[in-house]
Amino acid sequence: MPAVNLTARALLLDMDGTLVDSAAAVERVWRGWAVETGIDPELVLAVMPGRQGHATMAELLPDRPVELNLADARRLLAQETADVADIVPIPGAAEFLAAVEPFPHALVTSADVPLATARMTAAGLRIPDIRITAESVSASKPDPEGFLKAAAELGVAPADCVVFEDSAAGIAAARAAGMRVVGVGATAATHGPTAWAATLRDVMLTAGADRALTLRVG
């Protein structure tokens, strides 16, 4: 995608695949669940990015009892929270978080607080003061609830927010919230973002008038 200039009053940041590279841990845990349930692991890994665990399970097994999905999701969440040995930051993430610190921003993740804390800490990244996690919402991405809650907490209109996301579910959620979205990572460009960056090193931030942000992406 060509370079794009955007303006924003707040930035809403996904975690996994956007700030934190947790792909190895995620794959280990979810491949195990796929084998247990007899589902093609590649299908599971294609569906689950950006979603809460129980929402992934409901998508893959629509006739399965909700109680089983919730129980499995809790078990997998505990495994993911403990599996941080090879968690690393996305290139440029630390510098990006330092650059946005003076401006309104929030973490919006499908992880719960313990998982988000474990992964951001393992990656050596600052955790934003405002964060919308699994405990904060009643619906998983691609529902826009998380992004809308973050905008409301920051006191910024959805149209004035720019989201940073990597997954199809997250990008769809941002679009549904009426927000522009920067896709981050190799596959994000295929999901229809407003702009695309290979890594966060490809995003330049400058302060504009009235504390607005100007972003050069790409």
Query: Token pair of 16, please?
Result: 């996994």
pLDDT of residue 155 exceeding 90, the answer is yes
Write down the catalytic residue from 14, 21, 112, 166. Answer: 14
Arithmetic mean of pLDDT over the chain: 94
* Mean pLDDT in residue range 171-195: 96
Write down the catalytic residue from 16, 72, 83, 143. Answer: 16
pLDDT in tens, 138-147: 999 999 999 9
Beta pairing partners, 87? none
- 16 a catalytic residue: yes
pLDDT score recorded for residue 52: 87
* Mean pLDDT in residue range 106-127: 97
Predicted confidence band of residue 11 (pLDDT cuts 50, 70, 90): very high
What does pTM read for this prediction? 0.89
* Mean pLDDT in residue range 67-92: 94
pLDDT score recorded for residue 211: 78
